[in-house]
Chains A and B, each alone.
Chain A
Amino acid sequence: MNVEIEELHVGYAGRDVVAGVQLMAAAGEIAGLVGPNGSGKSTVLRTVYRHLRPTAGRVLLAGTDLRTLSPGRTARQVAALPQERGSDFELTVREVVTMGRTPYKRAFAGDDRTDRETVARALAAVGMAGQGARRFSTLSGGERQRALLARAFAQDPEVLVLDEPTNHLDVRHQVELLALLRAQRRTTLISLHDLNAAASLCDRLHVLHAGRVVASGTPRAVLTPQLLAEVFGVRAAVTEHPLTGDPLIAFDHREPLPADGG
């Protein structure tokens, strides 16, 4: 199922945070959103899982305007991993993952066999089989993120939307999470801070800057030293990763470019 975003505007208190964004993820493709802080990545993603309503423009799921779908119907097709990290409400891992079944359940309906099997499979897919009875609040950052990903899987979605899923994870856990996403082969919209991770994972990149998309295409086509200078304000060389052949960005960590860019 492909996702298209057309002329999207989102505003808080009269100010457009996202002003005319146009981007897409083709079916089965991993599309990355990159850009500096405050460029509008999270805001765009929030409209796809319907936490925010666009002030103008459309989000299309396989050509259908999201606004014509009920919230429940949307959630059966789109699952999200927002940046929220849970709470102290004494839920077990299984209870958190079972939340993914919410859009399939009527009021008062208990968990049936399908629910339990889907939840168990989702836990297994993230390598947490047999850990369902643990308390969610006692998990480490990496485990917590995997459990939340399992909750997204339990939604049985066609589209995954992930907002900075590797934040606060150590390198090993980052690599594991990205490998997991790669193996899923689902239509995915993901925002990432780490440009090298984005270059390695994504089939397509959209670069956001001040609420607009300034470049779209394959990582190799998009991530040029000029763009990195203009959008991120850093000096960098782009070469080839000696192990994987992916584009590899080597930043100059010694000093930033002058404020008005190079």
Chain B
Amino acid sequence: MAKPLPLLRGTLDILVLKTLSWGPMHAFEITSWLEEKSGGRLDVDDSALLQALHRMEERELIEGAWGVTENNRRARYYSMTAKGRAFLKAELAKLAEYTETLSGVLAARTV
């Protein structure tokens, strides 16, 4: 297994929103989706994720609602709000521009 990558500041919200763009999920579904997609290389602290969900709910990027899992357990299902969708779109654009600029600068050869 490859060494886990530390998360950059502020990227957790984007990752969560991206995850939820697939549909409402509860917290463990979100974290296992992220683990699966990153091949286990994203090191997301469970406690931090749960708190991030509350914080994002506070900012009305996502909405929580009680539901029942396939194992018949009560869990909070989170879904993305319209505000969250717009936020994700804007952040992704910013991130893309940032990465592009950064890699452009780093790819420049010294003359």
Do A and B bind? no
Residues of A in contact with B (beta carbons under 8 Å apart) = none
Residues of B in contact with A (beta carbons under 8 Å apart) = none
